[in-house]
């Protein structure tokens, strides 16, 4: 379980997170929703330690707040960034390979064939395009690649930053199926940051609503799904 206590995050003089508290349960899908600029991405960046932040982040007894970004990745807390972040000039397979660095090390001798096979099983489309350069993939394929790369890191926790962004609804639906599969079948804890509140709440177990750097609401996703405040603010009209 990741326990976040009184997390503050700063971009220069601007305070993006104003002391939030969260608990991310093992094996569950926890989502973090909120409008633009609420601080959702900042939360993930804070856990990964790529921004200036204060506060306690404890994972399985280990205090992450003293670790560098590389070390946090080695702890098995993998961050799939906003905008996919695939390496454009590397092929699909090379991109997947880069995901193994946190346990393989630059000069290690570990084998990753098994990990690769499992990712290709999950995302057959990636296997088809294994030697294609990543810049030429469609948005959806790039997102799959980013998630696949995350999986190659043998994660215990995967943090996904707005995976649905810029993707067509059908593609998003397929993607979320895979996310659920990863969680149910491999037992990987998921922390999902999303603008698409509807979809996020549908697949999650627990949810936090973030507004202007503070946690506004929290609770089991099922409940928040029908909470009138959430519905009116984030879901618009239309069928669930």
Partner 1 sequence: MNFNLFVSLLVNGLAMGMVYALLAMGLIMLFRSAGVMNFAQGMMLAVGAYISYATQVQADLPLYAAIPLCLASYVVFGLIFMACIYLPLKDTKFPAAIVVATMGTSSILSEACTLIWGGEALSVPYLVTNGEGKSAYLTIGGVSIQWQYILTTIVGVVLIFLVYVLFDKLYVGKMMEAAAQDKYTASLIGIPKLVTIAITYAIAISLGCIGGFMVSPVTYCSVSLSSLQLRAFASVVIGGTRSIKGAVIGALLVGLVEAFATVNLSNYKDAVVFILLIVFLLVKPDGLVRSKIGDKA
Closer by beta carbon to partner 1, 8 or else 87: 87
Closest CB 162 distance from partner 1, rounded Å? 15
Task: For residue 155, give both structure tokens.
Answer: 């994660």
Helices (H), 123-237: 124-128, 139-152, 169-186, 197-203, 221-226, 228-230
Closest CB 9 distance from partner 1, rounded Å? 16
Closer by beta carbon to partner 1, 87 or else 202: 87
Closer by beta carbon to partner 1, 66 or else 237: 66
Q: Which residues bind partner 1 (CB under 8 A)?
A: 48, 50, 69-70, 73-74, 78-79, 81, 85, 87-90, 94-95, 97-99, 101-102, 104, 106-107, 133, 135-136, 149-150, 153
Task: For residue 72, give both structure tokens.
Answer: 């946090």
Closest CB 180 distance from partner 1, rounded Å? 23
Closer by beta carbon to partner 1, 79 or else 225: 79
CA dist 192 and 189 (Å) reads 10
Closest CB 48 distance from partner 1, rounded Å? 6
Alpha carbons within 13 A on the beta-carbon side of 232? 2
Closer by beta carbon to partner 1, 157 or else 197: 157
Task: For residue 144, give both structure tokens.
Answer: 């799959």
Closest CB 133 distance from partner 1, rounded Å? 6
Angle 104-155-87 from CA coordinates, rounded to 5°:
65
Angle 163-165-166 from CA coordinates, rounded to 5°:
135
């Amino acid at each position: 379980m990741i326990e976040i206590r009184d997390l503050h995050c700063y971009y220069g003089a601007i305070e993006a997170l104003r002391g939030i508290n969260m608990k991310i349960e093992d094996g569950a899908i926890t989502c973090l929703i909120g409008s633009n600029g609420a601080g959702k991405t900042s939360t993930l960046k804070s856990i990964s330690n790529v921004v200036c932040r204060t506060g306690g982040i404890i994972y399985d007894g280990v205090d992450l707040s003293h670790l560098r970004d590389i070390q946090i990745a080695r702890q098995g807390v993998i961050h799939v960034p906003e905008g996919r972040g695939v390496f454009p000039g590397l092929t699909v397979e090379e991109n997947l390979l880069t995901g193994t660095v946190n346990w393989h090390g630059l000069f290690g001798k570990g084998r990753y064939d098994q990990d690769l096979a499992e990712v290709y099983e999950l995302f057959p489309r990636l296997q088809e395009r294994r030697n294609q350069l990543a810049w030429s993939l469609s948005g959806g394929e790039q997102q799959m690649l980013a998630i696949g790369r995350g999986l190659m890191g043998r994660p215990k926790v995967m943090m996904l930053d707005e995976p649905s962004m810029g993707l067509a609804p059908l593609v998003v639906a397929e993607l979320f199926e895979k996310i659920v599969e990863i969680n149910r079948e491999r037992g990987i804890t998921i922390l999902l940051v999303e603008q698409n509140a509807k979809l996020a709440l549908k697949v999650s177990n627990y949810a936090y609503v973030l507004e202007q750097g503070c946690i506004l609401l929290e609770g089991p996703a099922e409940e928040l799904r029908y909470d009138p405040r959430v519905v009116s603010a984030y879901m618009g009209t239309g069928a669930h």
